[in-house]
């Protein structure tokens, strides 16, 4: 999937606006430019590229994902060339699907010619068939469900499965996957190459998952969608603190699982509840300057009541069984966040984090627990409690420590915020931290 590069291109005074974003994509070694409205391209590419790949793989039972990826890449190459000259069509999604279908027909025509005149005794693994198919909502949903379970194959290690799904089905770049796993980009690149080779050698096939496959693979599928949502909700690699396109895509894919009887489990319901609760506060989490707004300072009038109600619905469904997963606990924590006037809210949140750390420890959960601990016991006790954490290279640790030290030890707070700035990959976040440091210095000195 694409690594996206942004730069500015100054246009002549006749053609306004004067400054226009140009995006360069590299897909499977193919580089091309998108020279049209910047707000359309990232979302379209991330969502429609993966849909095209999934539908083609399942419809034609392709043994190599790369064939479908090449066709999808050629489709977007055609879009970049045509839309730059003629503008974006009224229905860009339908335009992409039509071009993809035409390219499939061309692909199979070439195979037919090859089969008739050249093939001889060469063993070619794709059959020439009549490429009649539709990109209907049902076909897309079935194809993406089949694709994600095919990619999350136990022949690969769990982390490799998740990396593959994030790349192929969720549109993550190598850099974004590296950020999700706190790993080096080169490590992720090698992991993806090995995982693709293993799938190839295991006779890769896209088909509707069986009950056994769902049981064996659902955990990794849910982890993939959880990471996708988190990257949107707490973006580590972009200049935006929140990337709504990623959150929306995670929820769209998860809804496919919720609506399928095979995959509609209590964990699936719990994860959907979590995403609904988190999304309900999304518009209040940043201000007009794209700066983060803490929970207690958010405008509750900007919270989405319909999403909160939807979250309650899925949370009730999730707790109908006796299973308790990390998603159940995180959804319950998110529920309390959306009830600011509830009695003993932070005490309940702290207890839930204590339970969560026992079954699914993560640095993020430990830091969130520390914040809840401060709300219950105060900043000074939380600073003492922080001695149990060993996260010297975690930017969020230093940001939280700066927040906790602010009222009681300004010098230490500034030091932690400076370390957070050095570790952050987000320009927006660096600017927010710099502003916070300046305010502390003004107040102190």
For the stretch 77-103, pLDDT in tens is 898 889 888 888 999 999 999 999 999
Per-residue pLDDT, 185: 92
Would you say residue 351 lies in a domain?
Answer: no
Q: Are residues 83 and 18 in the same domain?
A: yes
Domain limit, last residue, from 311, 342, 373: 342
Residue 259 and residue 143 in one domain: yes
What pLDDT was estimated at residue 375?
96
Q: How far is CA 29 from CA 7, 67, 70, 74, 96, in A?
A: 20, 14, 10, 12, 21
The residue assigned the tokens 């409205």 is 37
Residue reference for tokens 């929970």: 295
**pLDDT digit string (tens) for 272-292?**
999 999 999 998 988 887 777
Look at residue 326 and tell me whether its pLDDT is greater than 60: yes
- How many CA within 13 A on the CB side of residue 232? 25
Residue 378 CA to residue 382 CA, distance in Å, equals 6
| Statement: residue 427 has pLDDT above 50 | yes
Look at the chain and report how many structural domains it folds into.
4
Q: Are 297 and 387 members of one domain?
A: no
Provide the whole-model pTM.
Answer: 0.77
Q: Residue 316 pLDDT more than 90?
A: yes
**Beta partners for residue 6, in sequence order:** 23
In a domain, 349, yes or no: no
Contact by Cβ (8 Å): 112, 64:
no
Contact 302, 285 (CB under 8 A): no
For residues 247 and 311, membership in a common domain is answered with no
Residues 426, 336 share a domain: no
Q: How confident is the model at residue 115 (pLDDT cuts 50, 70, 90)?
A: low
Question: Cα angle vertex 151, ends 323, 326, to 5°?
Answer: 25
Domain annotation covers residue 283: yes
Which positions ≥6 away from 69 have C-beta within 8 Å? 27, 28, 53, 168
Q: Which residues contact 121 (CB under 8 A, 6 or more apart)?
A: none
Half-sphere exposure of 275 (CA within 13 A, CB side): 28
Do 260 and 279 have their domain in common?
Answer: no
- Say whether both 218 and 173 belong to one domain: yes
Shared domain check, 314 and 380:
no
**32 or 369, which is more confident?**
369
- Same domain for 147 and 254? yes
List the alpha helices (DSSP H) in 300-394: 305-318, 326-337, 345-359, 363-377, 379-385
Distance CA 354, CA 308 (A): 24
Domain encompassing residue 430: 362-445
Cα 391 from Cα 389, distance rounded (Å) = 6
Using DSSP's 3-state secondary structure scheme, residue 343 falls into: coil
pLDDT, one tens digit per residue, over 342-388 is 989 999 999 999 999 999 999 999 999 999 999 999 999 999 999 99
Two structure tokens written together for 174: 């190598």
My answer on whether omega of the bond before 161 falls inside 30° of 0, hence cis, is no
Do residues 89 and 144 both lie within one domain? no
State which of 264, 294, 320 marks the end of a domain: 264
The mean per-residue pLDDT over the stretch 258-279 comes to 96
Q: What is the CATH number of the domain that holds 416?
A: 1.25.40
Q: Judge if 234 and 307 occupy the same domain.
A: no
């Amino acid at each position: 999937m694409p690594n996206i590069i942004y730069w500015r291109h100054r246009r002549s005074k006749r053609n306004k606006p004067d400054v226009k974003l140009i995006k360069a994509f590299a897909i499977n070694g193919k580089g091309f430019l998108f020279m049209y409205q910047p707000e359309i391209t990232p979302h379209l590419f991330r969502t429609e590229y993966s849909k095209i790949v999934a539908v083609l793989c399942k419809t034609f039972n392709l043994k190599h994902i790369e064939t479908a990826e090449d066709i999808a890449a050629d489709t977007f190459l055609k879009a970049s060339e045509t839309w730059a000259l003629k503008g974006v069509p009224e229905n860009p999604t339908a335009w992409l699907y039509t071009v993809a279908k035409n390219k499939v027909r061309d692909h199979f025509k070439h195979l037919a010619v090859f089969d008739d005149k050249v093939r001889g005794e060469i063993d070619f693994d794709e059959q020439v068939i009549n490429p009649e198919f539709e990109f209907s909502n049902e076909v897309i949903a079935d194809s993406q469900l089949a694709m994600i379970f095919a990619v999350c194959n136990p022949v690969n290690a769990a982390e490799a499965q998740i990396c593959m799904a994030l790349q192929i089905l969720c549109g993550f770049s190598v850099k974004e996957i590296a950020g999700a796993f706190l790993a080096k980009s080169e490590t992720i690149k090698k992991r993806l190459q090995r995982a693709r080779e293993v799938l190839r050698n295991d006779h890769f096939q896209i088909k509707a998952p069986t009950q056994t496959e769902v049981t064996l693979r659902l955990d990794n599928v849910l982890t993939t969608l959880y990471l996708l949502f988190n990257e949107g909700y707490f973006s580590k690699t972009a200049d935006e603190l929140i990337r709504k396109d990623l959150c929306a895509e995670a929820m769209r894919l998860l809804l496919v699982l919720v609506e399928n009887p095979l995959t509609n489990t209590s964990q699936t319901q719990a994860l959907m509840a979590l995403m609904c609760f988190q999304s309900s506060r999304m518009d209040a989490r940043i201000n007009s300057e794209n700066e983060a707004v803490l929970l207690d300072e958010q405008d509750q009038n900007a919270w989405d009541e319909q999403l909160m109600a939807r979250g309650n619905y899925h949370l009730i469904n999730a707790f109908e069984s006796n299973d308790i997963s990390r998603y159940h606990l995180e959804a319950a924590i998110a529920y309390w966040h959306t009830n600011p006037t509830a009695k003993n809210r932070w005490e309940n949140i702290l207890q839930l984090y204590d339970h969560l750390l026992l079954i699914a420890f993560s640095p993020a959960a430990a830091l969130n627990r520390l914040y809840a601990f401060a709300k219950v016991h105060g900043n000074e006790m939380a600073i003492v409690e922080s001695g149990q954490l060993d996260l010297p290279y975690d930017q969020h640790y230093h940001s939280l420590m700066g927040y906790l030290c602010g009222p009681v030890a300004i010098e230490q707070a500034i030091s932690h915020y400076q370390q957070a700035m050095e570790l952050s990959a987000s320009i927006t976040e660096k600017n927010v931290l710099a502003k916070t440091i300046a305010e502390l210095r003004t107040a102190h000195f």
